[in-house]
Amino acid sequence: MGFASAYLDKHRFFQPFIIDEPRKDTSLIVVIPCYNEPDILDSLLSLYNARRPSFPVEVIVVVNLPEGSGKAIFDQNRKTILQVRQWSEGHSSTDFMVHAIDVPPFPSRHAGAGFARKTGMDEAVHRFSLSNNERGIIVSFDADSACDPSYFTELEKCFSRPEITGCTIYFEHPVYGENDSTAIDQAITGYELYLRYFVQAMRWAGFPYAFHTIGSCFAVNSGTYARQGGMNRKTAGEDFYFLHKIFPLGNFTELNTTRVMPSSRVSDRVPFGTGATMKRLTCDSQQKLQAYPLESFEELSSLFLRVPEFFGAGSKGVAEIVNKLPHCMAGYLERNNFAGAVAQMNKHSAGLLTFRKRFFVWFSALRLLQFLNFARDNYRDDRPVTQAAASLLERINVRSEAGICSLLLAYRNLQRQTTWKC
């Protein structure tokens, strides 16, 4: 009986695909969803060329497709299975093993990266459970991504601290300078700037779980994965929902000493995310990417700074504190029965630390997004991402030259200079 037996009995959808047992000291498994991917070997080669850690590594490529997929996709998947298995024969060794698993077609209502990622991660946790390795590292990667040579060794250093539950991994989309940029380069530069601005603005506001949630750029230990119920089957945003189950456990960190390079390609596979945004921006060259204005994050900050005041406060005290907040925030809280929520937080909190944790379970990332949308719909319009990003840099006294590429470089440097933890 391995540590994850109960989880696997309850939550996995398939019996194990890989017959051969892993080496007993295998301590890192990379999971790659792969749907209609012609260039998977480029990603595998990037991983293969990374320096080996002190233990064996496995890579699980989850070749998948929805029910009813056309012949072209079916044929590409068959080709991928053969390519990966042939490539594996020539590149696998005792310290680097690649598996391609051929998954039955997913039901259309569940088909997508979430189900594929879950299938691979469940396979990984099964393999770690065979050796009862709760601290085995499950790494999420994508079939169109690349990594730095230090990828594995830096992951090993990060998880060598026994308290670490997981990490997000620093990323950079491939972009070129403004003078040589194409429409795709301009679009991905704006989109990455938007992502970095949004995370830095959450941090500036005081939100404790202000991490990037990108499917190709995170890792968790296998025990944490199983205890939290594993990955979900969402067709999009699976990374966001999964990681926001993990963050409140604490001991989560950024890994900024290595790098993943996700693809900047256009895609219509999911309704939101990088591919969908790239399609929208490149189809309409006149469209400018918008971002939530800094004023809305200021209002979040005004609430988060007052969290200790709500501890032990009765309904009258809560109302008095809320009335001191900006009108937009006060209106949002009143609409969402904040007084009742605070009463429940206080009822189950013996101290301020517990209260604060319960507060941010209630005021989750989803609720934060709901507030930002509420503010946009009722109080203030979004701003061009370059304007919003420049405003935040000015507020935190970080200098940057004008221009979208200079702004992005400033935000990249800002992230690598600090390590966000919770």
Would you place residue 285 in the very low, low, confident or very high pLDDT band (cuts 50, 70, 90)? low
Residue 408 predicted with pLDDT over 50: yes
Sheet with 252-261: list strands edge to edge.
Answer: 96-102, 57-63, 28-34, 137-140, 218-221, 166-171, 252-261, 146-147
pLDDT for the residue 24: 87
Selection from 209, 401, 384 nearest residue 293 by Cα: 384
Residue 215 predicted with pLDDT over 60: yes
Residue 54 predicted with pLDDT over 50: yes
Packing angle, helices 183-205 and 274-283, rounded to 10? 130
**128, 134 in Cβ contact below 8 A?**
yes
Would you place residue 287 in the very low, low, confident or very high pLDDT band (cuts 50, 70, 90)? low
Selection from 301, 308, 309 nearest residue 357 by Cα: 308
Would you place residue 388 in the very low, low, confident or very high pLDDT band (cuts 50, 70, 90)? very high
Distance, C-alpha 197 to centroid of its chain: 15
Would you place residue 279 in the very low, low, confident or very high pLDDT band (cuts 50, 70, 90)? very low
pTM: 0.92
pLDDT for the residue 186: 80
What is the CATH T-level fold of the domain 5-181+207-288, as seen in this structure?
Spore Coat Polysaccharide Biosynthesis Protein SpsA; Chain A (3.90.550)
Mean pLDDT computed over 213-236: 95
pLDDT for the residue 272: 46
pLDDT 10s digits, 75-100: 999 999 999 999 999 999 999 999 99
Distance, C-alpha 36 to centroid of its chain: 22
DSSP H or E stretch at residue 252:
strand 252-261
Give the integer Cα–Cα distance in Å for 191 and 340: 38
pLDDT for the residue 100: 96
75 CB-contact burial (10 Å; exposed 0-12 / middle 13-18 / buried 19+): exposed
**251, 165 in Cβ contact below 8 A?**
yes
Instruction: Locate all alpha helices (DSSP H) within 228-364, ordered by sequence.
Output: 238-246, 274-283, 294-304, 307-310, 315-323, 327-335, 338-347, 352-362
Q: In terms of DSSP bridges, do strands 57-63 and 28-34 run parallel, antiparallel, or are they unpaired?
A: parallel
Residue 212 predicted with pLDDT over 60: yes
Mean pLDDT of the chain: 92
DSSP H or E stretch at residue 414:
helix 404-417
pLDDT for the residue 235: 80
What are the residue boundaries of the structural domains of the chain, listed by start?
5-181+207-288, 294-378
Give me the DSSP letters along 117-148: HHHHHHHHHHHHHHTT-TTPEEEE--TT-EE-
Question: Residue 19: helix, strand or coil by DSSP?
Answer: coil
Give the integer Cα–Cα distance in Å for 164 and 207: 20
pLDDT 10s digits, 98-145: 999 999 989 888 888 999 999 999 999 999 999 999 999 999 999 999
Retrieve residue 384's tokens: 């061009």
Give the integer Cα–Cα distance in Å for 338 and 236: 30
Give the integer Cα–Cα distance in Å for 263 and 415: 20
pLDDT 10s digits, 304-322: 999 999 999 999 999 999 9
Give the integer Cα–Cα distance in Å for 207 and 205: 6
317 CB-contact burial (10 Å; exposed 0-12 / middle 13-18 / buried 19+): middle
Would you place residue 1 in the very low, low, confident or very high pLDDT band (cuts 50, 70, 90)? low
Would you place residue 389 in the very low, low, confident or very high pLDDT band (cuts 50, 70, 90)? very high
